[in-house]
């Protein structure tokens, strides 16, 4: 049985640190330099289909890890978001899954840690309430139990009554005037607070 023979190894144009492998069968495939140097072969060496498949697999795993770590270097991301971004790059789904599991094992990827950081930034900067926070976290694929745990912790750190009071004062609503009171209620609903939370603080503000 004839095994494909390597007839050329070239520096690939347009891809830094990448080698282009030419076979006498007419097939061509690329490897990152790291994978190329880890697997010793040269021109005139023969490669079986199994060996070529393994090389391509190792190369894609390396590319996915590099892409994932590059994305994580900018900011923390959820597993769902990272999965989506890697799929957009055209990587094989099973290799993405394997990479995400590796990143979780190495603690580079942690949905709970992401959710805590995301919630703290959103609540501190925008004073959003628990309804909106839950919606935002769900968009990032965060589970219900984690959302509840993070929500409890963040609103202990940033009490809801204090944030509602801050928003009312910032907008300078006159709560004695019904039109402005209604505007205030709609504004706070848009911020993600419940009716009970809003009315409790409005009532408290009116009394004071």
Q: Output the pLDDT for position 2.
A: 77
Partners of residue 198 on adjacent β-strands: none
pTM of the model: 0.81
The whole-number pLDDT of residue 1 equals 61
3-state secondary structure 101-145: HHHHHCCCCCHHHHHHHHHHHHHHHHCCCHHHHHHHHHHCCCCHH
Q: Where along the chain do its domains lie?
A: 6-104, 111-207
Residue by residue, pLDDT tens for the chain (208 residues) are 678 898 888 887 767 778 889 999 888 888 988 898 888 888 989 999 999 999 999 999 999 999 999 999 999 999 999 999 999 999 999 999 999 999 999 999 999 999 999 999 999 999 999 999 999 999 999 999 999 999 999 999 999 999 999 999 888 888 878 888 899 999 999 999 999 999 998 887 665 5
CATH class of 6-104: mainly alpha
């Amino acid at each position: 049985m004839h095994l494909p023979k390597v007839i050329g190894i070239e520096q690939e144009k347009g891809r830094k640190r990448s080698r282009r492998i030419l076979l006498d069968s007419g097939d061509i495939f690329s490897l990152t330099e790291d994978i190329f140097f880890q697997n010793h072969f040269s021109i005139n060496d023969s490669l079986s289909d199994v060996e070529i498949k393994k090389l391509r697999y190792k190369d894609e795993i390396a590319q996915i890890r590099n892409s994932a770590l590059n994305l994580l270097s900018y900011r923390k991301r959820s597993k769902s978001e990272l999965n989506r971004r890697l799929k957009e790059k055209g990587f094989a789904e099973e290799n993405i899954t394997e990479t995400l599991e590796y990143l979780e094992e190495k603690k580079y990827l942690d949905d709970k840690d992401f959710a805590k950081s995301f919630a703290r930034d959103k609540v501190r900067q925008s004073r959003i309430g628990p309804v909106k926070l839950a919606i935002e976290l769900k968009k990032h694929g965060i589970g219900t139990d984690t959302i509840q745990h993070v929500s409890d912790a963040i609103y202990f750190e940033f009490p809801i009554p204090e944030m509602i009071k801050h928003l009312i004062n910032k907008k300078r609503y006159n709560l004695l005037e019904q039109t402005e009171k209604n505007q205030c209620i709609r504004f706070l609903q848009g911020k993600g607070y419940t009716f009970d939370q809003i009315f409790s603080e409005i009532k408290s503000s009116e009394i004071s």
